[in-house]
Amino acid sequence: MKQRINLLIAFSVVALVVLSAVQCYLVKTTYDYKVAQFHTQIKNEIAQITNNYSDIDSVLVSKKEALYKNLSETYFLGRKNRLEIKNEVLRNEYQSALTQEIQRKFERDLPNFKIDFAIILNKFILYQNTKKADTIFSEKPFIQNKLYGNLASLNHAFLVRSYVGTTNGNFKNQEYKLLTEDSMYVSVIDWEMIILRRMTFILVLSLLSILTLITLFIIALKALIKQKKVSDVKTDFINNITHELKTPLATLGISTKILEQKNIRENDENFNSIVSTISRQNNRLQNLIDQVMANSLAENEIELQKEKIETEDFLQTIVNDFKITYPEIKIITHFETQKTNLILDKFHLTTAILNVLENAVKYGSNTIVIRTKQFEEQFSISIEDNGIGIAKNKQPLLFEKFYRVEQGNLHNTKGLGLGLYYVDQIIKAHQGSVNVISDLGKGTLFTILLKA
């Protein structure tokens, strides 16, 4: 049974992990799709800016083209090398002005987004007549080759568009062509939060799904553990009640056979002794059955027959009867109250207190101290023994139905595990409470609080 439960739990954990992984994969796929969709949206909206920026500031664009022409002719004359041409292209005087113009256009046309951008120059190539192309530079996109913009890095930016521009010119009756290529990269500030907001419904639904799976798994696991516990308790109860019933039944069987003997029937003393034995064992069987029946009730199902009782006299009567049954047990009473009248059910409360006393004897006590105190509107009955005590981890289970503290062999201490459960139910039915304080080897203290 235990192995099957462990396998079931293992398979359930694996299934839960797999389902959670699938759910995370679907969320990740949706996230990637939303990112691509967002990039496409930004590209489409930025496409309103023309490739040559003439709609931003035609004067600045004209000055930029004039600069390119001048640098090309300077290069043809051999006055500057390629590195110098590259540096002058990248550090032209129009950088700041054109950057501000483009930034203002983004703020005006895309007010819902905060955009940082960079326009990177990738190529600057000169063609003179039919000669081989003279490449001033041709590189992959690097932030160091930034023409315009305020981006400091391309790490979190994405490509919006690439633009190839050509300029035809004539220098000393020789035609030439200038080819440039630049790319625009943009980064939308807080773009992750924008996408997450767009995924709110999916994220909430996924989270609820995972939490539901985990909750159902925990509920099923708790139900399984509870079922196993009930099964163990049931087995324990059957073993105990079988043990309890065997003794009186065996005694009854032996006594019946003895009565069949003629010499026993003719001897009044022996006959009466056997009849008394049969009567006691019959009463024991009846008590066992009554105990099981009585303890099947919860506190709200117990019908109390309450009456006004002088509590100290009532407790002393219980002590006197207990001494007759257990003359070897020393009972000490310390009643700090006198003539306290309470409304109680004598029958049920007597059984409850006797159960606590008998429990002390079962678990090794030879001295029991009973005290009474009164705290404002509560009457306290404490029963302290010098028995073997109860481990801390067992104490919360003491008042559960059929629970018995194991002491090695299951049947070392006889009982059905109903005595303290019955005590708890009876005290609760009186709107009171019972608690226990104990240490192994130091005895046990039960305290019953009743409404005064």
C-alpha–C-alpha distance, residues 49 and 27, integer Å: 34
The residue-averaged pLDDT of 136-160 equals 86
pLDDT score at 246? 67
pLDDT score at 292? 62
176-204 confidence digits (pLDDT tens) = 788 888 888 988 888 888 888 888 888 88
| Residue 434 pLDDT level (bands cut at 50, 70, 90) | very high
Q: Pick the closest to residue 257 from 278, 237, 240 (CA basis).
A: 278
The residue-averaged pLDDT of 240-269 equals 73
Rg over CA atoms, the chain: 47
CA contacts within 13 A on the Cβ side of 418: 21
Structure token pair of residue 263: 């010499």
Report which residue type is found at 302.
I
1-57 confidence digits (pLDDT tens) = 567 777 777 887 888 888 888 888 888 898 888 888 888 888 887 776 655 555 565
400-425 confidence digits (pLDDT tens) = 776 666 554 333 445 556 678 878 88
pLDDT score at 52? 56
pTM: 0.46
pLDDT score at 256? 81
**C-alpha dihedral, 38 to 39 to 42 to 47, nearest 10°:** -140
* Residue 419 neighbours by CB under 8 Å, 6+ apart: 355, 356, 358, 359
279-335 confidence digits (pLDDT tens) = 766 766 776 676 565 555 554 556 778 899 999 999 998 888 788 778 899 999 999
Task: Label the pairing between strands 174-188 and 115-128.
Answer: antiparallel
| Residue 383 pLDDT level (bands cut at 50, 70, 90) | very high
- Describe the crossing of helices 346-362 and 419-429 by its angle, rounded to 10 degrees: 150
Burial 188-219 (b: 16+ CB within 10 A, else e): beebeeebeeebeeeeeebeeebeeeeeebee
Q: Give DSSP secondary structure letters for 356-423.
A: HHHHHHHTT-SEEEEEEEEETTEEEEEEEE-SS---TTTGGGTTSTT----BSBTTSS---S-HHHHH
pLDDT score at 242? 66
Domain boundaries in the chain? 54-189, 302-451
Specify the residue for token string 């909750």: 215
Helix H or strand E encompassing 12: helix 2-46
100-127 confidence digits (pLDDT tens) = 888 888 888 888 888 888 888 888 888 8
Structure token pair of residue 36: 């691509």
Reply yes or no on domain 302-451 having CATH 3.30.565.10: yes
343-372 confidence digits (pLDDT tens) = 998 888 888 898 899 888 888 889 999 999
Task: Label the pairing between strands 330-335 and 367-375.
Answer: parallel
| SS3 letters across 392-407 | CCCHHHCCCCCCCCCE
203-246 confidence digits (pLDDT tens) = 888 888 888 888 888 888 888 778 777 777 666 666 656 656 66
pLDDT score at 247? 59
Q: Pick the closest to residue 438 from 398, 390, 404 (CA basis).
A: 390
320-348 confidence digits (pLDDT tens) = 878 877 889 999 999 999 888 999 988 88
